[in-house]
Copies of this chain bind each other. A is one copy, B any other.
Amino acid sequence: VTAREFRRAAKKAAQILGRADKILILSHTAPDGDTIGAAYALCSALQKMGKKARTECGDILPAKYEYLFSKVDFPAFEPELVVAVDVASKNLIGDALSGYQDRVALCIDHHPSNTFYAGFTLLDPDAAATCELIYYLLGILNVKIDRYIAECIYTGVATDTGCFRFSNTTPTTLRVAAEMIERGADSATINKILFDTVSRERLRLETLALETLEYHFGGAVAIVCVSLEMCKTAGVTETDLEGLPSLPIKIEGVAAGVTIKEKEDGVMKISLRTTGAVNASQVCASLGGGGHARAAGCQVEGTMQEAREKILEELSKYLGKK
């Protein structure tokens, strides 16, 4: 999309929102800071415009986002307009809200993989976060960004860029964040909650996992294993496991970081992260999986040891001898 096409589409999205009075906003399942921030920012803005608005999500919102979701009251109403934010495909609306899957009139999103399931889609695949689009829309709708909305939008842009570390961070992302701080967002507290807090259980699991760390191919490959037994000992939940596969690739000199997670007895999930040198998607495709050039995954049957041998065997085709 050109900048002009995007501006025109944004005006149309603003019109759709402006015309409706009872608006339901949906977030995607396994909700993150961007889909929650976008939904609550938009909901609060529509309420400030005198409309009835509420948000729903097919999954329970993680407790760490309590500073956002505990601050808005939801009226009861039958929605006139259903909006989805940061939801790339209709199945991500989830089973619990499947009744809305074919009723989304407006989708606001930044995922290049968006399937255009909605009546109208405002998509900017160059935006780091859907919250950047919400910021832009609120400008058209002439809603003053107060401290609460600023914290919602800040949460979204910070979440999707790993606090401005990832390559999707653009000058626009940083300038939106700057303005949100000016409008009162307590960025330091939000950053501490999102990026500098680890649960006791997660840390225990990381310790156990790091004890299994092995290097191969002269240090170019690092492998970490996570068994069901370890998860039980550490007492982790699914949320505690988030981001674990990005650990081994952080090690200096490592070109391929592998995390093997026992899903159930005899079924292993392999997550592969690579630098530019190895195509993760290609490697995982050979084992029946897929993904992106630098982040991919696959599932194999057998023991942990067998999974390790399989992925090392595949990697050896790219890296030479172990």
Contact = CB atoms under 8 A, between A and B. Distances in A.
Interface of A: 163-167, 169-172, 174-175, 177-179, 181-182, 187-188, 191, 195-200, 203, 206-207, 210-211, 213, 215, 219, 250-253
B203 A213 contact: yes
7 contacts: A171-B178, A171-B181, A171-B182, A174-B175, A175-B175, A198-B250, A207-B213
B251 A203 contact: yes
Contact of A178 (B178, B181, B203): B178
Contacts of A175: 174-175, 178
Nearest to A167: B188
Copies in the complex: 2
Contact of A199 (B163, B199, B252): B252
A163 B163 contact: yes
Nearest to A176: B174
B163 A198 contact: no
Contacts of A182: 171
Contact of A207 (B171, B179, B198, B211): B211
B178 A166 contact: no
A164 B166 contact: no
Main secondary structure of the interface of A (DSSP, over half): helix
A170 to B, nearest CB: 7
A44 to B, nearest CB: 22
Contacts of A197: 250-252
Given A171-B182, A203-B213, 9 more contacts: A163-B165, A165-B195, A166-B191, A167-B188, A169-B187, A174-B174, A197-B252, A199-B251, A210-B210
A170 B180 CA distance: 11
Contacts of A167: 187-188
Contacts of A188: 165-167, 169
Contact of A198 (B172, B206, B252): B252
A76 to B, nearest CB: 35
Contacts of A211: 207
Contacts of A199: 251-252
A12 B251 CA distance: 46
Given A175-B174, A175-B175, A200 B165 contact: no
